[in-house]
Amino acid sequence: MSSWLLVGVAILGLGLALYLKRKPDPRYVFLEQTAQSRSIELSALDIEGLTKSNFLQSITSTWNVISASLGKFPVPKIVLFLILVNGVAFFVNQRWLNFPQTEINGATTLLAVFFGMRSVLDKRRKAFDTDFPDALNILMSAVTAGESINAAFAYVSKVSDNDVGKEFKDISDRMRLGESTEAIFERSCKRFPYPPFLFFVITIRANMERGGQLKSVLGKLIRVLVEARNLDKKKMAMTSEARISAKIVGAIPFCFMLLLNWINPEDLEFVLFHPDGRWILYYLLISEGVGMFIVWWLVKSIR
């Protein structure tokens, strides 16, 4: 146990050292404005660089999104979730599986972190993809009516009661307080590190710096986002049958084990507790995990 603790401390120290020496995220470099560049016009931006980052920067960006999704006190919420999941795993292991408790808790924590993180990120991204085009429509209507950028942000926040509307309200309030646009948009990009939002920030900043046809650019961006959302819905509809079939097939072995526990508990005890029967359980868990991963990968790889 002490050796594992030393390894964990060494990994944590190495990660902290790399974090302190990290390079600035290229997605946010365009938001920084030094004294030497204040008199220079806004030039072309590296769109490819805005969406790329190294491993530690990706972790920081992911944590910003998760903390924004969880709201207040994200760390206590995560700790409470892990305690609850490990408590359930402890009960199930003591009641049926009888595996080494340390291994069960470690595997349960890793799976809970992975699936919980994916669930939070996917839920926030889906909400963003749904709400952002509508917010842009309202923003474009306000700009077309002759409102300023600040007033247009405030109008969207009054109409839209969602995360995007709250973010636009924060942008509008900070603009009224006189905070620099660089700091405002940098904070927003950390909470919504998605390519459509980054391109939107580029468009707004270019318009504020040099002016331009904001209405036409927003119209094109809205059209692209709506088409992407419709394509994603079409993809999910076309793969729904395969996904449901995979879930049903994956649930059959566990349903059979419950039925076996009711019909002949001795056979189930052989699978769960006997050394020879454990190989059947290992095969079941590994084959189910590999099969569901392949189905998930095939669905995600559709373009």
Domain locations in the chain as residue ranges: 126-234, 239-303
Residue 94 has pLDDT above 80, yes or no: yes
- Which is more confidently placed, 242 or 150? 150
Estimate to the nearest angstrom the gap between the alpha carbon of 297 and the chain centroid: 17
Instruction: State both tokens at 76.
Output: 């206590």
Neighbours of 139 (CB within 10 A): 25
- Which is more confidently placed, 191 or 155? 155
- Which is more confidently placed, 20 or 92? 92
Instruction: State both tokens at 199.
Output: 């391109």
d(CA 231, CA 227): 6
Rounded to an integer, the average pLDDT of 43-50 is 44
Phi, psi of 141, deg, nearest 5: -65, -40
Question: What global pTM score does this model have?
Answer: 0.67
CATH topology for the 126-234 domain = Receptor-associated Protein (1.20.81)
**Range ranked top by mean pLDDT from 92-101, 137-146, 206-215, 232-241:** 137-146
The CA dihedral of 173, 156, 52, 34, to the nearest 10 degrees, is: -30
Residue 10 has pLDDT above 60, yes or no: no
d(CA 111, CA 115): 6
Q: In terms of Cα–Cα distance, which of 86, 115, 88 is closest to 103?
A: 86
Q: How far is CA 45 from CA 28, 54, 190, 209, 301, in A?
A: 11, 19, 18, 14, 29
The residues, any chain, with a CB within 8 Å of residue 209's CB and separated by 6 or more, are 41, 42
d(CA 15, CA 6): 14
Decide: residue 264, CB within 10 A, 0-12 exposed, 13-18 middle, 19+ buried. Answer: exposed
